[in-house]
Amino acid sequence: MRYSSHILILILALNLSACATTQNHHDPIQPVNRVTDSVNDAIDRVTLKPLAQGYTTVVPKPMRTAVTNFYDNATYMNTVLNDFLQGKGGQGVEDLMRFLINTILGIGGLVDVATPMGFERHDEDFGQTLATWGVSQGAYVVYPLLGPNSFRDTPDFITSTATNPLFWAGLVVAPYVTIPITALNYVDKRAQLLEASTMRDELSLDPYVFTREAWRQNRNYLIHDGHPPAPAVNEDDDWEEDDFDSEDDFESEDTTDSENDIDDLDKSGSKENSNKEEKRNTSDNTNSTTTDTDTDDNAMGSNLKTRISLSSAPAAETAESSAIAAAGSEIVVAGNEVLQSEATDASKSVQASEAIYSIYLSSHYSEIEAAAEQGRFTKLDIQTTIVPVTLDQHVWYRLRASVHHDRTEALSQLKIFKSRTGLNDAWLEVKK
């Protein structure tokens, strides 16, 4: 039952986030998966979870540890096999020695004597082996009773069963012996997850997507032996610094409408001067804040609209907006982050018909956090896309709601999104 080892990552994930999510291209059969997940959860709540709670209440911790050690050791030959299949000969020999030491000296694996001797525990399976061989992950799938998996990881059911001595013992030992042993294995695994699953249910708005993203990140972590590569940056977010079009480039009616939209946004701007990115970045970025003054606004007068500020928001930038400014990008409209362009050259103006306006609802420190927030938007019937952006050597994960080619339309849609989500720090970004 691979479900247990994957959800353990939720404890770490929940330290980074407390929200929800939406679909991605790794989950093409999400409707079916959600139904299966709901059925699994319902069965768990009336069977395994109560048994696990009773198990942890009655059985002392040292005894539970011994039971866990026994089942971990009994299934460890799967790790040994896949060590060699992945070309990790040295690790394979060490893991084989670990298995033999714990089996012989550890009383069948009840006591882990190999770890203090320097033989660390590893976690390898056939899904990771296929990944090292270049096989793509395929679709995410939730199996009845077995939980999260993928098409690439599915064949591990075969190798893990074939290398499990308890399976072969079940062919020759009476069922009244093997069935309780198998049941105890599942109860023990579920008991290890009680705290993690409770935290997930209480803190995440969409447990399904949160579990999916946690599972995917954990698999990526295991495949790369704890050193996963940095996520690729979307080329669509290579923003360049540009100024807003001059008023002369617009018809007077369009200009008036746009300015009214901006005034409305000014009045509804966020009064909070913090967000997730500002909280998590170092003080090195806070020194790059820029302040709009009345003189600057008057100087812009009737010539160029190069900056749009929120009258009710403090004149400070977040960590991400500071980094974007250093990279020569421009955020056009933001709730609690306003990035101001210093360019005054009218030759840099871009025609409205040539600009692309993207509406972003939020920015997050981790992909799990972004995926979690996606769930809340999904419940509001707002489809979003996670867009990774590298700033100050850290990858931020933004939630993009829509893309427009008309500025007035984009401003209008931004106000709608703010009203529906309650996020005053949503912003509009422009790209040539």
Q: Do residues 119 and 97 touch, judged by C-beta distance below 8 A?
A: yes
Question: Total domain count for the chain?
Answer: 2
- Tens of pLDDT, residues 266-303: 444 433 333 444 444 444 444 443 334 344 444 333 33
Higher pLDDT, residue 324 or 67? 67
Q: Are 381 and 353 in contact (CB under 8 A)?
A: no
Assess whether 278 and 134 both reside in one domain: no
For residues 77 and 320, which has the higher predicted lDDT (pLDDT)?
Answer: 77
Higher pLDDT, 132 or 277: 132
User: Where in the sequence is the domain holding 406, given as residue range(s)?
Assistant: 235-431
Residue 228, domain member (yes or no): no
Rounded Cα gap, residues 244 and 345, in angstroms:
11
What's the confidence (pLDDT) of residue 354? 67
**What pLDDT shows up at residue 232?**
56
Q: Are residues 190 and 246 in the same domain?
A: no
Whether the predicted pLDDT of 374 surpasses 70: yes
What's the pLDDT score for residue 233? 52
Q: Do residue 203 and residue 93 come from a single domain?
A: yes
Q: Dihedrals φ, ψ of 261, to 5°?
A: -60, -40
> For residue 388, what pLDDT is reported?
86
In this predicted structure, what is the pLDDT of residue 24? 60
**For residues 335 and 418, what is the distance between their CA atoms, to the nearest angstrom?**
9
Please check the confidence at residue 50 and state whether its pLDDT lies above 50: yes
- In a shared domain, residues 98 and 241: no
The answer to whether the CB of 127 falls within 8 A of the CB of 216 is no
pLDDT digits (tens, 9 = 90+) for 66-114: 999 999 999 999 999 999 999 999 999 999 999 999 999 999 999 999 9
pLDDT of residue 415: 86
37 and 124 fall within a common domain: yes
User: Which range has highest mean pLDDT (45-59, 166-180, 210-224, 397-411)?
Assistant: 45-59
Whether residue 210 sits in one domain with residue 74: yes
Residues 160 and 297 in one domain: no
Within-domain flag for 276: yes
Residue 428 pLDDT: 84
Are 401 and 294 part of one and the same domain? yes
Domain identity same for 276 and 418: yes
287-314 exposure pattern, b = at least 16 Cβ within 10 A, e = fewer: eeebebeeeeeeeeeeebbbbbbbeebe
Residue 162 reports pLDDT greater than 60:
yes
In contact, 233 and 170? CB cutoff 8 Å: no
pLDDT exceeds cutoff 80 at 427: yes
The residue among 79 and 264 whose pLDDT is bigger is 79
With cut-offs at 50, 70 and 90, classify the pLDDT of residue 315: very low
Asked if the structure places residue 230 within a domain, the reply is: no
Q: How far is CA 244 from CA 265, 313, 317, 407, in A?
A: 17, 21, 20, 10
Has residue 229 been placed in a domain?
Answer: no
Domain boundary among 158, 193, 223: 223
Confirm whether 140 is domain-assigned: yes
What is the model's pLDDT at position 105? 96
How high is the pLDDT of residue 231?
62
Taking the C-alpha atoms of residue 141 and residue 152, their distance in angstroms, rounded to an integer, is 10
Do residue 92 and residue 195 come from a single domain? yes
Does 251 lie in the same domain as 385? yes
The candidate with the shortest Cα–Cα distance to 430, out of 319, 324, 312, is 324
Q: Which of 223, 247, 278 is the last residue of a domain?
A: 223
Share of the chain above pLDDT 90, in %: 38
Q: Name the β-bridge partners of 356.
A: 431
- Is 286 part of any domain? yes
Task: Tell which of 166, 197, 223 closes a domain.
Answer: 223
The predicted pLDDT at position 304 comes to: 33
Give dist(CA 14, CA 37) in Å, integer. Answer: 20
Contact 110, 62 (CB under 8 A): no
Of 137-141, 159-163, 303-307, which gets the smallest average pLDDT?
303-307
User: Does residue 107 lie in a domain region?
Assistant: yes
388 within domain boundaries: yes
Residue with tokens 């320097």: 118
Percent of the chain whose predicted confidence (pLDDT) is above 70: 65
User: Is there a single domain that holds both residue 314 and residue 348?
Assistant: yes
77 or 2: which leads in pLDDT: 77
